[in-house]
């Protein structure tokens, strides 16, 4: 091929141009709000946005961004009333709802609704973070750092400068600030935030609504989960953040989102405003292959085994079922996501696509001047080499964290290592006593949700996976010997049986007695325990043999990847690049659309209450339907929230989202709330690595189902009164500025509808 092209250089250029599938694909992207004007405004308006970039993000006046918060550390929430009412997902508020629950007042099962402000429940530790402003501070952070400096050195300087910039930005204010790298560290952005800390639980539907479909429907479409909960932000007398006080007042936001009852149609513009956590869209083929062929399969294999055992024991015992419910849900969540991710990457031919891109990149470098060749001539070969180097350490990392530490006894034994360290370092008694006290509490908490017979089965299944999956030279001697001695599942089962029989770390009572000994300075009590004897070398080997080499290679990859990304941007000056997600505020936009999950199958873009009734199964705890909902359904008592004789529940759209976008407002072209993001479709989970406009869909809870549940199911209409509803049926939607594009869009929608009907 190369020689053919070199004979026809012009043809080569033409072919390259045609082959470039690389311009950001329709609706791909998690954009920085600050750059919308420059990069996206025209495109967004062409797709149906009736607002300006300034309406979405402005520092000087209230804008949509003032209604968006990071909820806790890992979710998003939006403000939906002038009195600080906050909407997020049920699974985002889950921990708080659980905290307030007891056997007598089981809010998980029954739901919770504050009928007065006095009944709104405080949640120590929970925060809601607004973004006050953001700024490109690349110049200040990178100034004077010489090219070619070692990565660790660069990182140190960057951290120092970032801290300085952040501190200067908020001096004399109550704001907080941090600096985050973008584009792999080619750029740095400052974020100034306002963090509220008195956030109260206002309402949550029962799990039979908020978690309807459970793990079975997780990541799945068609979906019928009423995944929302309501909180309220409280502020001090000056409307500024204040620690919890009964005298705090509901926060008065700079902006709260009006809620549209007008519903959605295929092709409608949608915008998701939130805090996506992590994506890696600019990997090379070797980076994609590492995920596809190494990490995902290893992690899935281990979790497969563990989940099967947990599931068996949970089915057999109610006690175990309750003890392991949360652990199971969190293991199953990413287990399922990784399976979808592998299938999606395979289906896309992701590795081959990246290889094609790399071939084109090499051609561009080869055609360039000496500066270009010097900057990028080696980069891909170097990346390939580092990925080859790091691979055994990636396996060791994944098998150690998922399989070895996936055995709870091993993880627990390892958690006591710091006590041994303190004793051996002859730490002063008070320091040891404090640490033991902390371990005592941790121990009691741990054993409350622990089934020793279940964990023993997990050990018998996971230890051999760890021993066989980790490259032999990265296993501790101890485990290498075990591996030689135990070559059948029965042998590992006997090993586990003996381990759990001899260890004292298998119940709260006996573990507390070990802690009694440690408190007296007797480390032997732990050192002699077979569970510790297994855990200690595993973790020590990981620290000594795996982590240093892993981090060194990973540092190299970070550095090279930064250069490669700079090269990509230089190669494609016309292409709009967005930085990978890093838990900072982003805008994704797209349109309402169904999809084809497989050949011969077409999914509609929305689901309804009728589908909840179809899925209802009184024998299955994941598919219970509360009596009140059945009653409303039977009476068709839907209030103003109905559409075509039923209540819309969820819809799909092409917005590019990821973990952290849970709870994000989904907004229409007029800036009104139409739903709350809560999941992604299984066929689209590879979008963290590669987006596919045909298959990637975010899943949104329709606001009308949320309102219906609050008003009709819960009887909490006083909350709906706080909100600003627009576009009620029979009443025209708030008129938007006349726009010729509207007509064009309608035609497009008609065409799409016709396509769906076919
Ligand atoms: N998949 C959704 C998100 O990631 C929801 C997870 C919670 N729900 C559950 N059934 N585990 O990450
Ligand atoms: N449920 C996810 C979250 O908690 C969102 C789904 C996704 O990864 O797109 O953020």
- Tens digits of per-residue pLDDT, 601-650? 999 999 999 999 999 999 999 999 999 999 999 999 999 999 999 999 99
Of all protein residues, the one whose alpha carbon is nearest to atom 7 of ligand 1 is 91
Q: Which pLDDT belongs to residue 602?
A: 98
**Which ligand 1 atom is nearest residue 332's CA?**
11
Average pLDDT over residues 423-428: 97
Q: How confident is the model at residue 9 (pLDDT cuts 50, 70, 90)?
A: very low
- Whether the predicted pLDDT of 59 surpasses 80: yes
Distance 230 CA to ligand 1 centre (A): 18
Q: Is the dihedral of CA 704, 706, 712, 716 positive or negative?
A: negative
- Whether the predicted pLDDT of 106 surpasses 50: yes
Distance 675 CA to ligand 2 centre (A): 15
3-state class (DSSP) for residue 353 = helix
| Ligand closest to the CA atom of residue 659 | 2
**Which ligand 2 atom is nearest residue 76's CA?**
10
- Tens digits of per-residue pLDDT, 328-353? 989 999 999 999 999 999 999 999 99
Instruction: Specify whether 694 is catalytic.
Output: no
Q: Which pLDDT belongs to residue 325?
A: 84
Average pLDDT over residues 724-735: 68
- Whether the predicted pLDDT of 515 surpasses 90: yes
Range with lowest mean pLDDT among 4-13, 42-51, 263-272: 4-13
- Whether the predicted pLDDT of 738 surpasses 70: no
Which of these is catalytic: 662, 688, 702, 711? 662
Distance CA 279, CA 281 (A): 6
| Ligand closest to the CA atom of residue 334 | 1
Pocket (CB within 6 angstroms of ligand 1): 91, 214-215, 218-219, 329, 333, 659, 662, 679
Give alpha helix (H) positions in 416-543.
Answer: 417-424, 429-448, 452-469, 477-485, 489-502, 508-519, 524-527, 530-541
Range with lowest mean pLDDT among 9-18, 201-210, 231-240, 576-585: 9-18
The percent of residues in the chain predicted with pLDDT above 90, rounded, is 89
Distance 679 CA to ligand 1 centre (A): 7
Average pLDDT over residues 115-119: 98
Q: Which pLDDT belongs to residue 200?
A: 98
- Tens digits of per-residue pLDDT, 224-277? 999 999 999 999 999 999 999 999 999 999 999 999 999 999 999 999 999 999
Contacts of 408 (CB under 8 A, 6+ apart): 446, 450, 455, 458
Indicate the top mutation candidate among 662, 676, 697 to test ligand 1's pocket, ranked by most ligand atoms within 8 A of CB: 662
- Whether the predicted pLDDT of 739 surpasses 50: no
**656 contacts 681 by C-beta, under 8 angstroms:** no
Q: Which pLDDT belongs to residue 2?
A: 37
Domain extents for the chain?
A: 42-127+197-280+580-726, 285-570
- Whether the predicted pLDDT of 18 surpasses 50: no
Distance CA 272, CA 673 (A): 10
Which of these is catalytic: 91, 255, 486, 656? 91
Residue from 167, 192, 162 nearest 180 by CA: 162
- Whether the predicted pLDDT of 494 surpasses 70: yes
| Fold exhibited by the domain 42-127+197-280+580-726 | Thrombin, subunit H (2.40.10)
547: enclosing H helix or E strand: helix 547-571
Q: Which pLDDT belongs to residue 730?
A: 57
Q: Which pLDDT belongs to residue 757?
A: 35
Instruction: Specify whether 718 is catalytic.
Output: no
User: How many CB atoms are closer than 10 A to CB 625?
Assistant: 19
Distance of CA 250 to the CA centre of its chain: 29
Average pLDDT over residues 717-736: 77
- Tens digits of per-residue pLDDT, 141-186? 999 999 888 888 999 999 999 999 999 999 999 999 999 999 999 9
Instruction: Specify whether 739 is catalytic.
Output: no
**Which ligand 1 atom is nearest residue 214's CA?**
10
Distance 664 CA to ligand 2 centre (A): 10
- Whether the predicted pLDDT of 511 surpasses 60: yes
Distance CA 4, CA 471 (A): 43
Distance 219 CA to ligand 1 centre (A): 7
What pairs with residue 188 in β-bridges?
A: 181
First to last CA, the chain: 41
Q: Which pLDDT belongs to residue 729?
A: 61
| Ligand closest to the CA atom of residue 699 | 2
DSSP summary character for residue 108:
H
Pocket (CB within 6 angstroms of ligand 2): 657-662, 678-680
Of all protein residues, the one whose alpha carbon is nearest to atom 4 of ligand 1 is 659
| Ligand closest to the CA atom of residue 215 | 1
Q: Which pLDDT belongs to residue 24?
A: 52
Q: Is the dihedral of CA 675, 680, 683, 687 positive or negative?
A: positive
Indicate the top mutation candidate among 92, 333, 660 to test ligand 1's pocket, ranked by most ligand atoms within 8 A of CB: 333
**256 contacts 87 by C-beta, under 8 angstroms:** no
Mean of pLDDT over the chain: 93
Q: How confident is the model at residue 25 (pLDDT cuts 50, 70, 90)?
A: low
| Ligand closest to the CA atom of residue 74 | 2
Distance 637 CA to ligand 1 centre (A): 30
Average pLDDT over residues 538-560: 97
Indicate the top mutation candidate among 210, 657, 697, 699 to test ligand 2's pocket, ranked by most ligand atoms within 8 A of CB: 657
Which of these is catalytic: 66, 198, 227, 455? 227
Average pLDDT over residues 390-405: 98
Of all protein residues, the one whose alpha carbon is nearest to atom 6 of ligand 2 is 679
Distance 681 CA to ligand 1 centre (A): 11
- Whether the predicted pLDDT of 751 surpasses 60: no
Distances (CA, A) of 335 to 93, 300, 305, 308, 309: 22, 6, 11, 12, 14
Of all protein residues, the one whose alpha carbon is nearest to atom 9 of ligand 2 is 658
């Amino acid at each position: 091929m190369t020689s053919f092209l070199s004979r026809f250089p012009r043809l080569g250029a033409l072919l390259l141009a045609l082959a470039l599938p690389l311009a950001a694909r329709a609706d791909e992207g998690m954009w920085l709000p600050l750059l919308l004007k420059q990069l996206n405004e025209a495109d967004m308006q062409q797709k149906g946005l009736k607002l300006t970039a300034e309406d979405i993000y402005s520092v000087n006046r209230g804008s949509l961004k003032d209604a968006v918060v990071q909820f806790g550390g890992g979710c998003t929430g939006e403000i939906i009333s002038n009195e600080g009412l906050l909407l997020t997902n049920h699974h985002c508020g889950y921990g708080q709802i659980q905290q307030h629950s007891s056997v007598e007042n089981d809010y998980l099962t029954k739901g919770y609704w504050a009928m007065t402000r006095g009944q709104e429940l405080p949640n120590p530790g929970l925060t809601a973070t607004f973004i006050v402003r953001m700024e490109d501070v690349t110049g200040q952070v990178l100034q004077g750092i010489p090219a070619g400096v070692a990565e660790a050195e660069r990182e140190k300087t960057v951290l120092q400068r970032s801290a300085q910039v952040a501190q200067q930005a908020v001096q004399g204010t109550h704001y907080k600030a941090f600096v985050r790298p973008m584009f792999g560290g080619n750029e740095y952005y400052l974020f100034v935030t306002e963090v509220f800390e008195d956030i109260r639980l206002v309402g949550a539907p029962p799990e039979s609504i908020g978690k309807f479909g459970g793990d079975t429907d997780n990541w799945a479409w068609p979906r019928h989960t009423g995944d929302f909960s309501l909180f309220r932000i409280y502020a001090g007398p000056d409307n500024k953040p204040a620690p919890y006080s009964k005298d705090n007042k509901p926060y008065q936001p700079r902006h709260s989102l009006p809620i549209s009852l007008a519903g959605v149609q295929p092709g409608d513009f949608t915008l998701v405003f939130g805090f996506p956590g992590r994506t890696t869209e600019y990997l090379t083929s070797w980076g994609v292959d590492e995920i596809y062929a190494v990490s995902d399969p290893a992690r899935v294999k281990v979790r497969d085994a563990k989940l099967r055992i947990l599931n068996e024991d949970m089915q057999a015992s109610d006690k175990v079922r309750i003890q392991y419910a949360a652990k199971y849900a969190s293991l199953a969540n990413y287990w399922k996501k990784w399976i979808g991710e592998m299938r999606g990457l395979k289906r896309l031919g992701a590795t081959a696509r990246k290889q094609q891109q790399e071939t084109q990149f090499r051609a561009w470098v080869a055609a360039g001047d000496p500066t270009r060749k010097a900057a990028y001539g080696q980069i891909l070969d170097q990346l390939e080499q580092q990925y080859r180097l790091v691979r055994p350490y990636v396996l060791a990392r994944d098998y150690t964290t998922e399989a070895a530490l996936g055995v709870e006894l091993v993880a627990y034994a390892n958690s006591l290592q710091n006590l041994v360290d303190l004793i051996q370092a002859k730490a002063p008694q008070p320091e040891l006593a404090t640490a033991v006290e902390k371990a005592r509490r941790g121990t009691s908490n741990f054993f409350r949700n622990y089934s020793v017979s279940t964990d023993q089965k997990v050990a018998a299944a996971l230890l051999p996976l760890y021993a066989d999956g980790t490259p032999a030279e990265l296993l501790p001697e101890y485990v290498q010997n075990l591996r030689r001695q135990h070559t059948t599942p029965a042998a590992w089962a006997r090993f586990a049986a003996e381990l759990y029989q001899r260890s004292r770390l298998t119940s709260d009572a006996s573990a507390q007695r070990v802690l009694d000994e440690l408190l007296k300075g007797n480390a032997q009590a732990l050192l002699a325990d077979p569970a510790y004897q297994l855990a200690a070398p595993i973790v020590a080997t990981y620290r000594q043999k795996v982590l240093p080499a892993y981090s060194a290679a990973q540092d190299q990859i970070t550095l090279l990847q930064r250069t490669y990304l700079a090269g990509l941007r230089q190669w494609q000056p016309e292409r709009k690049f967005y930085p990978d997600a890093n838990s900072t505020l982003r805008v994704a936009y797209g349109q309402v659309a169904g999809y084809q999950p497989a050949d011969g199958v077409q999914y509609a873009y929305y689901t309804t209450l009728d589908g909840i009734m179809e899925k209802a199964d009184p024998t299955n705890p994941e598919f219970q339907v509360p009596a009140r909902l059945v009653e409303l359904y039977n009476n068709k008592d839907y209030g103003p929230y109905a559409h075509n004789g039923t209540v819309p529940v969820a819809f799909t759209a092409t917005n590019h989202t990821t973990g952290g976008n849970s709870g994000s407002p989904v907004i229409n072209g007029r800036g009104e709330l139409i739903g709350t993001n809560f999941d992604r479709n299984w066929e689209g989970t590879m979008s963290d690595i590669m987006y596919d406009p045909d298959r990637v869909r975010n899943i949104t809870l329709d606001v009308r189902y949320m309102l219906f549940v609050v008003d009709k199911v819960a009887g909490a209409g006083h909350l709906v009164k706080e909100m600003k509803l627009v576009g009620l049926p029979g009443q025209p939607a708030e008129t938007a500025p006349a726009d010729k594009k509207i007509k064009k869009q309608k035609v497009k929608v008609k065409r799409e509808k016709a396509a769906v009907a076919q």
